[in-house]
Every structure is written in structure tokens, then in C-alpha cells.
Chains A and B, each alone.
Chain A
């Protein structure tokens, strides 16, 4: 079995960064807009 777990970990980390980053970005933009 090939040992390529590093690629898997990199992919899962990137997915978490993009998804959580976008969720945070939306939450902050909405918060700023509702406070105005």
C-alpha cells in the first residue's frame, strides 16, 4: 500500500481552512452590516 498520508492531511487541512475561513468571513460581514 503506498504511503502518501501527507497528501491526505494537506487536503483535509486546506478544506478546513477554506470552509472555516469562508464561514468566518460571512459571520463577520453580517455582524458589521447589522451593527451599522
Chain B
């Protein structure tokens, strides 16, 4: 089996996992919109929570994986680790876009404003822009070694921001609600809502894995083609 066959195999399996994730997301839509009760004080807009929180979870997971892989790249200097880190970064930007669009859509009816420059929102936007910069940097730099080294540094900076973002609601006075599941005490959510939220977190996690596998396989396929072209010249 050639390296190209292996990369194509990862892409195929990634497609299967993505398909499962999309089915899971479809079930989340049905469960959230039909079977989960409407919250009394916030109304239907509260249901945005079932896609906003899991998207934020997937985005922060993707950023964390990029940061951890970046540390390993700087240590081991394996180009496949760099490609996987970059794949996770792109997926993180996609989920970050979901997080940063659904948040304001919830904020407008509940807070009365689309956006406020409080610590949670500002640091999350900063992380998103940092990773957009990461992708732009990778597109501009042509030397693979320099590209991998520079982008690894940005990836690690992003990883440092993740715990800070989680703690902003405790460290600063902020409009953003405090965690209701990822906290030391038991989740403060009725059972039906909690099940919908956890189902959505699972669906977004599967989607993240599928997207990551596909994006990594794509990067491998591109690199193998470029290597074949270079050796043919």
C-alpha cells in the first residue's frame, strides 16, 4: 500500500465519521427543536444554547489539539504532526465561526445587544483572529520548515489562551453566563435539556474528528503530489 493509498483511506474513513456526525447533528436539531421544552424566561432563543455551546467546545478542542501538536512538532520535527496541527486549526476556525455567529444571535434578544466588549467575548474573538492569522501565515510562507516553526509558535500561544478563556467568567465581571456543566458542582440544568446539550456535544465532537481526518488526509495528498512533481522535474 502506497502513502497515497493510506492518505486516501484516511480521507474515506474521515468522510464516514463526518457523515455520522452530520446524522448526529440532524438528530440534535430534531431533539432540540421538537422534544426539548422551551425555557420559561428566555423563550425559544434559549435553544441557540444547544448549538452555541457545543460549537464553542469543538472550537476550543480544535485549538487545544493544534497547540499540543505544535509542541510535539517543535520537539520531534515530524512534518505529519505539523500537517495535523494545521488541519485542526482550520477545523477550529470553522467551529469558531459558528460560535461567534450564534453567540450574538442569542445575545440580541437576551442581553438587548449583539455584542459587548467583555472579557469572555473579546478573548474568544482574539483567539479566532489569532487562528485566522495562523492560516493566513501558512498560506504566505513557502518554506515548509519555517512555515511549520512559525505556525507552531502561534498554535502554542492559542493553547495558552484556552484556559484563560474558560476562566474569564470567574476572573472578570462579565455578561456571559458562567459554565453550567463544566464546573466543580453538578450541572445546573433540567435533565431533558442536559441530555440534548450532551447529545449535541457528542455530535460536534464526532464532526470535529471527521473533519480533522479529512483535512489531514487532504494535506497529506497535496504534499505527496507536490513531492512527486518536484522529483519529476
Please list the residues of chain A having a beta carbon within 8 angstroms of any beta carbon in chain B: 1-5, 7-8, 10-12, 14-16, 18-20, 22-23, 26-27, 29-30, 33-34, 36
Does A23 lie within 8 Å of B11, measured CB to CB?
Answer: no
Please name 19 further chain A to chain B contacts, defined as beta carbons within 8 Å, in addition to the given A2-B41, A2-B45, A18-B94, sorted by A numbering: A3-B43, A4-B42, A4-B44, A7-B44, A8-B33, A8-B47, A10-B105, A11-B101, A11-B105, A12-B48, A14-B98, A15-B25, A15-B98, A18-B97, A19-B94, A30-B218, A33-B218, A33-B221, A34-B8
Whether B43 contacts A18 by the Cβ 8 Å rule is no
Interface of B is mostly: helix
B29 in the interface (beta carbon within 8 A): yes
Which residue of chain B has its CB nearest to the CB of A2? B43
Residue pairs across A and B with Cβ atoms less than 8 A apart, 17 shown, are A1-B38, A2-B42, A2-B109, A4-B42, A4-B43, A8-B33, A11-B106, A12-B48, A15-B51, A16-B29, A18-B101, A19-B98, A22-B94, A22-B211, A23-B22, A26-B218, A30-B218
Select which of B43, B91, B102, B217 is within 8 A of A15 by beta carbon: B102
CA of A18 to CA of B207, assembled, Å = 12
List residues of B whose CB falls within 8 A of some A CB: 8, 11, 15, 18, 22, 25, 29, 33, 38, 40-45, 47-48, 51-52, 55, 91, 94, 97-98, 101-102, 105-106, 108-109, 207, 211, 214-215, 217-218, 221-222, 225
Return the chain B residue nearest A1 by Cβ. Answer: B43
**Which residue of B is nearest A31, CB measured?**
B11
Prevailing SS type, chain A contact patch: helix
How far is it, in angstroms, between the C-alpha of A16 and the C-alpha of B18 when the chains are bound?
A: 14
With A14-B105, A18-B94 in contact, is A30–B11 under 8 Å at CB?
yes
Residues of B close to A36: CB separation below 8 A: 225
* Chain B residues within an 8 Å CB radius of A7: 44-45, 48, 105-106, 108-109
Nearest-CB distance from B216 to chain A (Å)? Answer: 11
What are the 3 tightest A-B residue pairs by CB atom distance, in nearest-first order?
A: A2-B43, A5-B44, A4-B109
- With contacts A23-B22, A26-B211 known, is A14 near B43, CB below 8 A? no
Among candidates B43, B55, B101, B225, residue contacting A5 with C-beta atoms closer than 8 Å: B43
A22 to B55, CA, bound (A): 14
